[in-house]
Structure 1
Amino acid sequence: MVAALTRRALVALPVLAAAGCTGAGSGASGVVVTTNILGDLVRNVVGDQAEVQVLMAAGADPHSFGVSARQAASLERAALLVHNGLGLEEGVLAHVEAAAATGVPDLAVGELVDPIEYAADESAGLPDPHFWTDPVRVAEAVGIIAEQVVAHVPGVDADRVRANADAYRAEVEDLHDRTAALFGAIPDERRKLVTNHHVFGYLARRYDFEVIGAVIPSGTTLASPSGSDLKGLADAVAASGVAVVFADASQPERLIEAMAEETGLDIAIVPLFTESLTEPGQGAGTYLEMAAGNAEAIAGGLAPQ
């Protein structure tokens, strides 16, 4: 339903822009963004041209965070609502649908950056919402966001917004170049990823990694593994010869520890920031900091011993 509403909203964008108002009423203003990673992208594009409200707090899980009644009401007053669009924000989808139904223009970013599907386990065949692990797609998203801000947010200077987007996109492209260079030094036989849940499909495709599996065999942290899941993954890790698991820094390590206990494997745990930004100074205060830190951690974790 969200996808259908989003497509209708996008089709209506030129009409709404020409009318100088949104379906939510002429009093609508500012941008409301669901997740903090998207929020960082939007803030870099918008700059000082409009208010940007981000619903998801630092360190929260996008699959499970919820919103207050006041936040829910803000969605229907937005000039533009920016969300992932691929089922990521499971706790706020009903509010996104409600806002779109009232005519608020909504931008489902994930749907517009060539999304891929999960390839394995419980989520196989479903769209993968974690596009931000691929900086090339993020650079594309920046341009898309800029054009929809220009089309829908009253009072913004289009030239300023586009200049902001160009400058930020250059930083993201530089991130991609540095990431490619880091990963290029990893031997082919060690370019294998195991994570706490399926989150790096886009990164793996962009930089030529093989995803061995995930401790939680799903694209959402709301699922949980069985004993047979853990045993099967441990066997795959043992066969791969790369006993490193990359776990989200906000998630407990007990599942990975349980896998080690199940099989007796000596598994190294490398923490990453994968689905949420942190407060400033805590390792992932911005998208660029998060992505660069993750690339360095992955390259270090997979370096020959």
Structure 2
Amino acid sequence: MSGGHRRARAALKSRRIALLAVAALVLPLAACSQAHTAADDAAAGTRPQVVVTTNILGDVASEIAGDSIDVTTLMKPNADPHSFEISAQQAAALDSADLVVSNGLGLEEGLQRHLDRAAAAGVEQFVAGAEIDPLSYASGADHAAPQGPNGSAVADPHFWTDPRQMVTVARALTDALAALPSLSDDARAAIAARGSAYAQGLEDLDAALAERFAEIPRQQRALVTNHHVFGYFAQRYDFTVLGTAIPGGTTLAAPSAADLDALVTAITDAGVPTIFAESSSPDRLMRVLADEAGITVNVVPLFTESLSEPGGGAESYLEMVSTNADRIVSGLTPRQPRQ
């Protein structure tokens, strides 16, 4: 196959993934023409109040809930879920919510005391990480994974990098939202239909991604990122997490000189063409790594832990997944010589 044909085929698959992402947003709307009627049936101020910690889960919850539920997302675009904090007004919203939706598995470090207080006060909780079978952090080549006390394994909270895990979360969240008080029967049916269509859209998107990533030669499927975030992604799509600049599952950790030296060696030995920086974090450290490795390597931003502002390339979870797929394939696919 010529280089031109390969590029054309890749472009078609990229467009297919983008179309699937759009379809996953549109299908719930088409399937739930009753959503506005159900919302109108509820008296003003009586809609259930749902407060969501991260903007990724906030987007999913909003898509499933439609107009029948008021969804408030605490985390702003481009924020760090490990360290973001909330105002007194937002903390009060947590305490008065009908349902609090959180990621769990230790992700919301700066918010945990507020979540614990709301739970102790009897506020209903939906913890997404409790709905899946979590992975433990895996070590990359010559690069230690995060560990708990006494060297125990630590659960990886970044399950959203695998859309199949999000299918499980979306279905469970649909049930939790549909069970909220003061909803009409029409509203519950609309939520169920939207949730089903959204989950199906995720499954279709996952299949398209698997097909596209298979075009990257196995030996080229090596990821170097800011910190441990792609364990679920790597397992799903047969990638290797070669290493991370920050030796932990949280951006609050700090790399040592030995950590960076080991990673530079791994990058050099593997001949990695591209390393990936998180869009919400400065890429200075990744660029220093590229320079230290003494090789020509690209530094490409990915959306890993937060959605972007509108128009930023990751306005929704589905757009985030699609954008990251395009950038990973482009960064790791061997360049064909010009004819």
Q: Deviations over 1:242-261 (max 9, x none)?
A: 14211111211111122234
- Asked if structure 2 preserves the Cα contact closer than 8 Å seen for 1:217 and 1:225, the reply is yes
Q: Deviations over 1:241-280 (max 9, x none)?
A: 2142111112111111222343423321111111100111
**Is 1:145–2:173 an aligned residue pair?**
yes
Code of the aligned partner of 1:139: V
- Residue 133 of structure 1 is matched in structure 2 by 161
The 5-angstrom pairing of residues 146-225 of structure 1 reads 146-155=174-183, 157-225=187-255
Structure showing greater Rg:
2
CA distance, structure 2, for counterparts of residue 178 and residue 167 of structure 1: 17
- Asked if structure 2 preserves the Cα contact closer than 8 Å seen for 1:30 and 1:153, the reply is no
TM-score normalized with structure 1 length: 0.88
From 48, 55, 58, the counterpart of 2:67: 48
SS of equivalent to 1:166: helix
Any unmatched runs of 5+ in structure 1?
A: 1-26
CA distance, structure 1, for counterparts of residue 124 and residue 329 of structure 2: 40
- Residue 106 of structure 2 is matched in structure 1 by 87
- Residue 259 of structure 1 is matched in structure 2 by 289
Corresponding pairs, count: 279
Code of the aligned partner of 2:170: V
Q: Deviations over 1:133-175 (max 9, x none)?
A: 0000111111100111122343252211110101111221121
CA distance, structure 2, for counterparts of residue 228 and residue 265 of structure 1: 19
- Residue 146 of structure 2 is matched in structure 1 by 123
Code of the aligned partner of 2:74: L
- Asked if structure 1 preserves the Cα contact closer than 8 Å seen for 2:47 and 2:69, the reply is no
CA distance, structure 2, for counterparts of residue 29 and residue 76 of structure 1: 14
TM-score normalized with structure 2 length: 0.80
Relative contact order: is structure 1 or structure 2 higher (C-alpha 8 Å, sep ≥ 6)?
2
SS of equivalent to 1:219: coil
- Residue 275 of structure 2 is matched in structure 1 by 245
CA distance, structure 2, for counterparts of residue 119 and residue 266 of structure 1: 27
Code of the aligned partner of 2:172: I
**CA-CA distance at 1:28 after TM superposition:** 9.3
- Residue 22 of structure 2 is matched in structure 1 by none
Q: Deviations over 1:17-53 (max 9, x none)?
A: xxxxxxxxxx993110000000001001101111000
Q: What is the RMSD computed on CA atoms of the aligned residues? A: 1.4
- Residue 321 of structure 2 is matched in structure 1 by 291
CA shift in 2, pair 1:84/1:48, >3 Å: same
SS of equivalent to 1:118: coil
**Is 1:36–2:36 an aligned residue pair?**
no
Any unmatched runs of 5+ in structure 2?
A: 1-45, 148-152
- Residue 19 of structure 1 is matched in structure 2 by none
**CA-CA distance at 1:222 after TM superposition:** 1.0
CA distance, structure 1, for counterparts of residue 170 and residue 182 of structure 2: 19
CA distance, structure 2, for counterparts of residue 211 and residue 153 of structure 1: 44
SS of equivalent to 2:299: strand
- Residue 97 of structure 1 is matched in structure 2 by 116
